[in-house]
Amino acid sequence: MKHPTQSDSDSPTVINDRLRPVVREGVLEVPGDLDLYHGGHLTGVHVAWRIEGPAGAPIVATLGGISAHRRVFGDKTGEGWWNEVVGPGRALDAALVRVLSFDYLGGSGETTGPRSGESFPGVSTYDQAELLLRLLNHLGVKALHAIVGASYGGMVALAFAERYPERVGEIVVISAADRAHPMATAWRSVQRRMLRFAASCGRAAEGLELARALAMATYRSPEEFAARFSGAPRKEAHGAVFPVEEYLFARGADYAARHQPEAFQCLSESIDLHQVDAGRIFVPTTAVAVREDQLVPVADVRRLVARLAHARLHEISSVYGHDAFLKEGAQLKPAFAAFLGSVA
């Protein structure tokens, strides 16, 4: 059964004298109960997915942070969450591969997740990996050419490689490790506490604005903030308003308008519960570390690579910090070279 707002479809069109990649999307209805890694189960789970690229090309699952969704790239501004890195002719060249993604379980997309005021069981990166496996079975895909995962998506890639090594050729893990760093958990714990307090006051959306504003301060680097927000504050009746303050709360308000507080809570916790056994991962892995990343320190990625059986480390430097995966296409391109070179 298809989700009422989606359908499987192919939509090739000619643009600039070449064929646009074929787009298919739909919703997988998971039969029966889905038993979750942290306990509990869900019934009637549905998974919204999308695949785009040349018909018959190798398939690369492309997964992002907790705000990412199944539309990875697109022709219109803002259509895809990874437009600056993924697409035809870009660093991850969608003219060579088919890009597969899905809305996360427990998120704000069209996959099953919490809705306003609802409780929702804890979700693991292993649960996301199982849904990806079921999606591959549904699509008749024997094995993925690769998984490219950034931030939370890198955690899911590691979980999938540990559990289902025969179903993926290699993985690229960007700004993610085998477990969360305690300092990053500290920041996210405060965000979740802010959300719970705001919800108890009947102001969950405002709580999400605050939590996301705080999160934004951890995504970027001190160097970027110093360069962008060193101007003088504006005087208001209630006190000074600083340039960085305006930026953070504008981003928080924009996020709260598009996402569910309960989904943010669910997937934020999922990050901090994440823990895989790197010693059991034998899938060839390229790990990308950003030296300015406050959330996933480069030392954690180095330790991960040391424990993996077949891994190489690619370090980059970026003022964008943890968000470098969204911006640094040129620096990320070498990390994609191995699996793209085999299909070029």
Taking residue 132's Cβ as centre, other Cβ atoms within 10 Å add up to 27
User: H or E segment at 259?
Assistant: none
Token pair for 69: 């969704």
Token pair for 47: 């998974």
pLDDT at position 77 is: 59
Give the class (CATH, top level) of 14-180+275-341. Answer: alpha beta
The DSSP-derived string for 80-145 is STTTTTEETTSSEETTTSEEEEEPPTTSSSSSS---TT-------HHHHHHHHHHHHHHHT-S-BS
Q: CA 150, CA 63: separation in Å to the nearest integer?
A: 6
pLDDT tens series, the chain, 344 aa:
334 333 344 433 334 434 456 899 999 999 999 999 999 899 999 999 999 999 999 999 999 999 999 999 987 656 899 999 999 999 999 999 999 999 999 999 999 999 887 889 999 999 999 999 999 999 999 999 999 999 999 999 999 999 999 999 999 999 999 999 999 999 999 999 999 999 999 999 999 999 999 999 999 999 999 999 999 999 988 889 999 999 999 999 999 999 999 999 999 999 999 999 999 999 999 999 999 999 999 999 999 999 999 999 999 999 999 999 999 999 999 999 988 988 86
pLDDT at position 237 is: 86
pLDDT at position 11 is: 39
Q: 183-270 adopts what CATH topology?
A: Rna Polymerase Sigma Factor; Chain: A (1.10.1740)
Active site residue 178: no
- In angstroms, the Cα distances linking 240 to 110, 243, 246 are 41, 10, 11
**Residues 151, 221, 268, 270: which is the catalytic one?**
151
pLDDT at position 7 is: 39
For residue 312, give the amino acid letter: R
Residue in this structure with the two tokens 């993604």, named with its chain if needed: 101
**Residues 103, 293, 300, 323: which is the catalytic one?**
293
pLDDT at position 179 is: 98
Ranges of each domain in the chain: 14-180+275-341, 183-270
Check the CA dihedral 93-165-143-69 and report its sign.
Answer: negative
Active site residue 322: yes
pLDDT at position 21 is: 65
pLDDT at position 2 is: 38
Of 177, 196, 214, 185, nearest in space to 272 by CA? 185
**Residues 69, 259, 314, 322: which is the catalytic one?**
322
